[in-house]
Amino acid sequence: MYQSRLTVRYLTSRFIPLIAVAAVALCVALVIVVVSVMTGFLNMVQSSGRTLMGDVVVTYGLSGIPHYDKLMETLKQHASVEAVTPIVDGWGLLRMPYPDRDAKQSETVQVWGIEPDSFAEVTKFADSLQWKTVSENQRDWLLIDAIREHEHDVLAQLSEDDREFVIEHVNNAARTLNFEPVGLFETLSKQLPADDWTFILSLDARLTTESDVLTQGLSLERNGKPAIVSGLHVSEGNERQDDGSYQVIRNDYWWLPRYSGTLTMLPVDAQGGIIEPESVVMPFANEFMSGVYIIDDTRIFVPLHVAQQLLHLDEAEIVDEDDPTEVVGVDPARVTSVLVRGVEGVDANELRAIVQSSYLKFYDEMPIGTFVMPPPLGDPGLVIQTWEDQQRSFTGPVEKERELMRTLFSIIYLVVAALILSIFWSIVFEKTKDIGILRSIGASRLSVVWVFLQFALVIGVTGALLGSFLGWLITTNINAIHEALGNPPVSIAIGAIILGCLTVAWMIKRSRNGDFLPIVLGTLGVLLFACIALVVFDIRAMGGLVIWDASVYYFSHIPNDVDWNAAIVTNIGAVVFCLIGAAIPSAKAADIDPVKALRHE
């Protein structure tokens, strides 16, 4: 019983145990934050891979898989397969609508030709579309575009007075809307007769149905024409805000669904040679954000048949080499990949085996005499792999880095042990007389050891719990902390200056009697607050600081889920090493001679 009372007394009577608790808490919090971010980064990579490509991928290079429709039918027959979708994957050059001059900027893009309906069943395509509805500014820009594009028809529809009214307000809005809202839609709807207004609205479906921009994105069509859905970072007109949202610069002027782009791709012939480039002008229907920067920065989606035509993977006649006028067969349309999603509960490796057997069945069931056969299962170019295998080249090194970080940060346990050893060694020296009293009244050596081990146990458990709370608090708010550090508010600098002034006043007051410690502490405090203020002003003068660069770390936000398994192991390690650090001073305390201890001054 007296051991517990002594532990409480030692904890509450001196300041130094609180320093030990704080040190343990900081060490635990540091490990939890670092490991949680690394684990979250790995989880995001893995989950994004499954979200973007399903469970299993069947791939056969640029030459493509013929008769893919029959392969998809064979795959769908298995009860473990939930959805299948074809993909044409290639690279191209996309001519953007900006800048405002004849020489436009071009971007190198990864082109995915998809069937929107089946692609949405395999992936979370619908959830990734950025623009669900049009904003007020976007609607005004669409209205300006519609009137200018069909200017002759619109002016012919209007009376002379309404014609002048529309021309004046559209021209004024086109200038002013770059900087501030103008409410053109509301103005024209109130001024124009119902029939004339209905005619103008009929020029663009998005003017009457605000959610039509989402519908067009899901169908990869705009006003009945095949359209592009591009990654959010493909366009330089999208600007990320401090709260993580995105806005289009110039008050939505460079909103891509207003414009069209020219897509150019290089098809490859059967011998691997490059054919003449193929180009097509297509409107933009929407933009998507997967959350993986490298994808959002380079990938665009187009209808499957468009990608097949651009890469010469569409159906074509095969002519006789000796007589080009004679058709000897048909080269079927091809795709480069088929994505497969399994039903809930089916393991990806199990599904891969099912896909392999289904592919073998598909190959064996091809009619005898088929002019163009699909590649056999043993073909080196044919790859059937899970989404994990597909990402192994990237996730493997990340997993090793995470384990390396865990190993390196395990050194912190040694720091904790050394810190506890130093603190307890000084406590044992200070409490030598107390130890002598305990030994003289009959306390055993083990009882003395238990007093200090119990003391270390309380410090370790308290520090671990506080560290877990601190680690959770930092990790869950790490994106807000990142934004604050990247563009710190002036109030932080002002607060630091005020605290610095208060520190100077405290230092002057406490050092009047000649004490030197207040001068040292005050000087250090003033330097700290001065540095904080200078750093804040310096970062703001630079226009902000990007710490987590999405172009480097792939994701647009920092993982903020705590790895509780690592947190539990960290807590146990901290407590154990606290006990290890206290073991040597405890043994030294138990070996103190009671007679010498009572004489200790």
7 pLDDT higher than 70: no
Do residues 231 and 298 make contact, with C-beta atoms less than 8 angstroms apart? Answer: yes
pLDDT at 479: 81
Chain mean position to CA 289: 10
CA angle 565, 569, 573 (to 5 degrees): 170
Q: What is the mean pLDDT of the segment spanning 538-548?
A: 74
CA angle 36, 39, 44 (to 5 degrees): 120
Q: How far apart are the first and last CA of the chain?
A: 27
pLDDT tens readout for residues 387-434: 778 777 666 777 777 777 777 777 777 877 888 888 878 777 766 666
8 pLDDT higher than 60: no
pLDDT at 53: 78
- DSSP run (H or E) holding 11: helix 2-13
- What's the mean per-residue pLDDT of the chain? 84
Whether omega for the bond prior to residue 99 falls within 30 degrees of 0, making it cis, is: yes
Write out the two tokens for 258. Answer: 């207003």
pLDDT at 222: 93
User: 567-570: long-range contacts at Cβ-Cβ below 8 A with a sequence spacing of 24 or more?
Assistant: 567/32, 567/36, 567/468, 567/471, 567/472, 570/28, 570/31, 570/32, 570/35, 570/464, 570/467, 570/468
State whether residue 149 is helix, strand or coil: helix
Write out the two tokens for 548. Answer: 């987590």
pTM of the model: 0.75
Write out the two tokens for 300. Answer: 């665009």
Do residues 65 and 334 make contact, with C-beta atoms less than 8 angstroms apart? Answer: yes
Chain mean position to CA 523: 42
247 pLDDT higher than 80: yes
Do residues 92 and 310 make contact, with C-beta atoms less than 8 angstroms apart? Answer: yes
Do residues 469 and 583 make contact, with C-beta atoms less than 8 angstroms apart? Answer: no
pLDDT at 13: 55
Closest CA to 11 of 21, 23, 2: 21
Cβ neighbours of 30 (radius 10 Å): 17
Question: CA 163 to CA 153: how far, in whole Å?
Answer: 11
pLDDT at 65: 93
546 pLDDT higher than 80: no
Question: CA 126 to CA 290: how far, in whole Å?
Answer: 11
Output 349 or 445, whichever has higher pLDDT. 349
Do residues 278 and 265 make contact, with C-beta atoms less than 8 angstroms apart? Answer: yes
pLDDT at 451: 76
